[in-house]
Amino acid sequence: MNKFWTILSHTYLTKIKAKSFIISTVIAIIFVVGLANLQSIIDLFSGDGKDEVAIIDESGGLIDGFVENAEQANDEIDMVVYEGTEEEAKTAVQEDEFKALIVLSLDDTGLPEGTYYANTISETGMQSFFEQQLQQLKIIMASQQSGMDPATLMEINSPVSFEVVPLDEAAKTSEELNQARGIVYIMLFVLYIAVMSYGQMIMTDVANEKSSRVMEILVSSAPAITHMFAKIIGIALVGLTQVGALVLVGYFLIQSKQDELMGGIFEYLGFQDVSISIYIYAIVFFLLGYLLYATLAATLGSLVSRVEDAGQMMIPMIFLIMIAFFIAMFGLNAPDTTLVTVTSYIPFFSPMIMFMRVGMLDVPVWEVAISIGILIATIILLAAIGARIYKGGVLMYGRSSSFKDIKKALALSKKE
């Protein structure tokens, strides 16, 4: 047992002292701090002034209604009636005196049309805004020409009342689903990135030790199985340290900026009203998903002797994670489909998909228990098989990146 703790502590301390760990953690913390101060950063770069937009009315009767509607709809835009010629106004836009220029006129039917001039047309938001304002003005004028009462037209164009009511009392409302969708979406990304990064870390670490011949010393001082699980748990602690640092920073930021952060994006993503059970399930499925893929990564890493070959062996594991992630993304909008339900019991997919179902639906506890039971059984089975492959695989050298080497590793493990 002492050898297990020695290898575990060596793995953990080596990783957290590495420059890559420190740099990635600092970058992640800066990202969290930036996210908490996002509104302040936006205000800093956006400035206090309004966007001035020049407008020329060639029709002589459109400008008043258009300017009034535009400024009421967006208080960050200041419409300026340009008194000079169109060419002079274009020059003013090119010299950054105005954000853009709008020229209004009437078509052959007497309805409004417009031309939008700007230095670049990459900012589609402002273009769409003015197009929408002109469209509304066109509808009003067209209704007046046809003799239709504008009030009647507004009533026709008003949104229809369409309420969605679940008959199942346990079913979540649309508002609850939208809130759950946000928190589940974020946690799926965290699980996906963590499994990918730390799984790859295990595989490359094992391959690196073999390529440097350090593995020969390690397996001679401790059983290969002890080495395997010490490395898996050691890197798991590295991941928990990194995630814990981010959570701690995020917690203090939320506490210090509680009034600023409550509502807005936090309310939209569901962080304010999310059930504590969602966080519990997130931790459970995160740990089980990590153990499953970490065991697989250590097993595959033991089959290669060079770090360069580790990437090729990791491709199948990456495909499994990506398939699970894409099904989970699909399930966010259709969590009740047969595909989502069935794959939530497949162990390589269940850490993401069953968690997504739990967040989006009222899944019976027995279904979650079955999924977790299958996942735990698969981890135990994969650990037993993986330990034998690892035991023989760490003794294999030379260019090796084929799954046929599993048979050789099992044969070598029997000779030990």
Predicted confidence at residue 416, as pLDDT, reads: 52
Instruction: Quote the CA–CA distance of 327 and 69 in Å, as a whole number.
Output: 44
| For residues 9-28, average pLDDT | 84
Q: Where are the domains of the chain?
A: 2-37+172-415, 50-157
Tokens 């065991």 found at: 295
Mean pLDDT, residues 30-59: 72
Query: What pLDDT score does 376 carry?
Result: 92
pLDDT at residue 287 tops 60: yes
pLDDT digits (tens, 9 = 90+) for 301-326: 666 666 666 677 778 888 888 898 88
Q: What is the Cα–Cα distance from 183 to 265, expressed in whole angstroms?
A: 11
pLDDT attached to residue 370: 93
In the chain, the percentage of residues whose pLDDT exceeds 70 is 69
Lowest mean pLDDT among 233-237, 285-289, 351-355, 388-392: 388-392
How high does pLDDT run on average in the chain? 75
Query: 50-157 in CATH: which number?
Result: 3.40.190.10
Host H or E run for residue 100:
strand 100-106
- Report the alpha-carbon distance of residue 202 to residue 104 in Å, rounded: 64
Q: Closest Cα to residue 199, out of 261, 263, 85, 286?
A: 286
Stated pTM of the model: 0.65
Instruction: Specify the DSSP class assigned to residue 102.
Output: E
> Who contacts 253 (Cβ-Cβ below 8 Å, separation ≥6)?
32, 33, 36, 261
Question: Long-range CB contacts (< 8 A, 24+ apart) of 210-218?
Answer: 210/302, 210/304, 210/305, 210/394, 210/397, 211/305, 211/306, 211/307, 215/394, 218/7
Report the pLDDT value the prediction gives residue 99, as an integer from 0 to 100: 84
